[in-house]
Amino acid sequence: MTDRRSFLKGVSTLSATTVLGSNAAFAAPEENPPERDYFKEIGVKPFINAAAAYSAYGGRNMWPAVVEAMEYARKRNVVMEELHDAVGKRLASIIGCEAAMVTGGATSSMTLGTAACITGTDETLIRLVPDLRGLKNEVIIQKSHRYSYDHGVRNAGVQFVEVETVEELEAAVNEKTTMLFFFFLNDAKGAIKLEEFAALGKKHAVPTMIDGSNSVPPLERLSAYLDAGFDLAAFSGGKGLRGPYSAGMLLGRRDLIEAARLNNSPHSDTIGRGMKVSKEEVLGMLAAVEFSLTFDYSVENVRETRLVNLIADKLSVLPGITTKVSYPRTEGGRPHLQIFWDQSKTPLTVEQAQKALEEGEPSIRTPYLGLSDGELEVGCAMLKDDEVDVLVRRIGEVLA
C-alpha cells in the first residue's frame, strides 16, 4: 500500500490540471481540457471487443445524447426526490405504463421490486428488510427460471420456492408468499408460460415480477410484459438502451413503484441506500430511453450482418477454417460468427485459442457465453469496422 506521503509525492510531479478531481477543476473556466490517454497512463490494457456488450467489458457505450443530459445535470442543483418524481412520470408516459423509476440497474430493480412487495409503504417493515423473520418471505419461481442474476431477488432476504407445474405453483401459494418471479429468457424452458404465469399471480392476488433486463431492443418490450399482465418489470439501462452502465428501470404498478421508491435512496435506513443513482445518471437514463425511441435499431443489425459476412469471407481462404453464422438467443438474436478449425492440424482447445487471442498484440476478446463445444465465436456489436483486418489476421495466426 502506498502511504500518504509517497502518494502526495507522486501527485506533486503532475501539473494541477492533470490531477483527477483536483480543486483546480472548480476554479478553471468551462473549457475542454487537452485529451488525455487515461488508460495508458494508469496501465489499463486496451483490447478489441469481438465478443459482446458484456457487463464485464463495460456494457454498451452511452448515446452522445445521454452524456449531454449528464453534463446538463452536472452543472445544476436538484432535489433528488423531485427529479425521481419527474423522470419517473415522463418515463411512464413515453413508455406507456402506469409508473416508472430509475434504479441502479436491472439487478437493483429486482431487489427494490421484491422489497416493495414485502413492505408496501410501511416504514417499519422497510427498516427491517432484509431481515424477514416473521414476515412474508417466499418468492415462487419455476425451477427452470433459476439463473445467475436471481441473487437480485434474494438480496431482499426472501427464499425461493421452486415449482415446475401450475398445480405445484398453486399449491405453493400461502400467506408467506410475497411475489411470483419470472425470467424472460427462460420462457421456453418452463412449463408455465409468460402470460399464464402473470395470470396465476392475478388469480391468487400475488404480485408478479419479470426480469426483462437485456430484452431491449425491441423497445416495445418495455411495455409488453406489463401488458401481458406482470405487475413489475426490471430492465437494464446500460445495455441496448445505451444509458448509464449503472442505471436501469423498474416499471409497473403505481402502488408498487411508490413502495420501491420508499425502499430506495435517498431514504437512508433502507435496502436501497447502497443502490443510489446520481442526478446525472437519472437524467441520463431518461435521455437514453428518449433517444432509443427515435433510433432505428435495424441499422445495427445491418451493420453487424455485414461485418459477420465480411469476416466469414476473409477467413474462408484460410486452410482448415470453416465458419457459420448463428443468432444466439442470449445475445438477443444478433448475428455471431461461429469459427471451427482443423483440430488435427491445430490442436487447441477453445480456451487456449481465446487465451492466445487475448494475450496477443493487439489483445482480442471473443464471446465466452453460450458457446458450443469446439467453437470460437465472434460478435460484432462492439467491433469497429477498422478492426476487422487485424481480427482476421490474428485468428489466422492462432488457428490456421
Ligand X SMILES: *Cc1c(COP(=O)(O)O)cnc(C)c1O
Question: What is the contact surface with ligand X in residues (CB under 6 A)?
Answer: 55, 105-107, 149, 185, 211, 213-214, 236, 248
Q: Which phi-psi region, left, alpha or beta, contains residue 21 (left: φ > 0; alpha: ψ -120 to 50)? A: left
Q: Measured at CB, which residue is nearest to ligand X?
A: 105
- In terms of CB distance, is 110 or 315 closer to ligand X? 110
Residue among 268, 216, 221 at smallest CA distance from 80: 268
- In terms of CB distance, is 99 or 249 closer to ligand X? 249
- In terms of CB distance, is 149 or 297 closer to ligand X? 149
Kindly give the pairing relationship between strand 364-365 and strand 336-340: unpaired
Q: Residue 130: what are its φ and ψ, rounded to 5°?
A: -95, 15
Burial of 158 (0-12, 13-18, 19+ CB in 10 A): buried
Cβ neighbours for 314, distance < 8 A, ≥ 6 positions apart? 388, 389, 392
- In terms of CB distance, is 248 or 335 closer to ligand X? 248
Kindly give the pairing relationship between strand 138-142 and strand 99-103: unpaired
- In terms of CB distance, is 116 or 392 closer to ligand X? 116
- In terms of CB distance, is 105 or 217 closer to ligand X? 105
138, containing H or E segment: strand 138-142
Q: Are 364 and 50 in contact (CB under 8 A)?
A: yes
Cβ neighbours for 78, distance < 8 A, ≥ 6 positions apart? 279
Residue 340 C-beta: closest distance to ligand X, Å: 27
Handedness of CA 290, 99, 86, 275 (dihedral sign): negative
Residue 91 C-beta: closest distance to ligand X, Å: 16
Amino acid identity at 36? R
Residue 308 C-beta: closest distance to ligand X, Å: 22
Separation of alpha carbons 313 and 321, rounded Å: 11
- In terms of CB distance, is 105 or 136 closer to ligand X? 105
Residue 167 C-beta: closest distance to ligand X, Å: 28
- In terms of CB distance, is 265 or 323 closer to ligand X? 265
- In terms of CB distance, is 109 or 338 closer to ligand X? 109
- In terms of CB distance, is 235 or 291 closer to ligand X? 235
Tell me which DSSP letter residue 272 carries: B
* Cβ contacts of 232-236, under 8 Å, gap ≥ 24: 232/109, 232/113, 232/116, 232/117, 232/207, 232/208, 232/256, 232/257, 233/209, 234/103, 234/106, 234/107, 234/109, 234/110, 234/113, 234/152, 234/209, 234/210, 235/106, 235/109, 236/59, 236/105, 236/106
Residue 239 C-beta: closest distance to ligand X, Å: 6
Separation of alpha carbons 59 and 240, rounded Å: 9
- In terms of CB distance, is 106 or 257 closer to ligand X? 106
Residue 53 C-beta: closest distance to ligand X, Å: 9
Residue 238 C-beta: closest distance to ligand X, Å: 6
Q: Which phi-psi region, left, alpha or beta, contains residue 346 (left: φ > 0; alpha: ψ -120 to 50)? A: beta
Separation of alpha carbons 160 and 175, rounded Å: 15
Q: Are 326 and 315 in contact (CB under 8 A)?
A: no
Count Cα neighbours of 292 within 13 Å in the Cβ-side half-sphere: 27
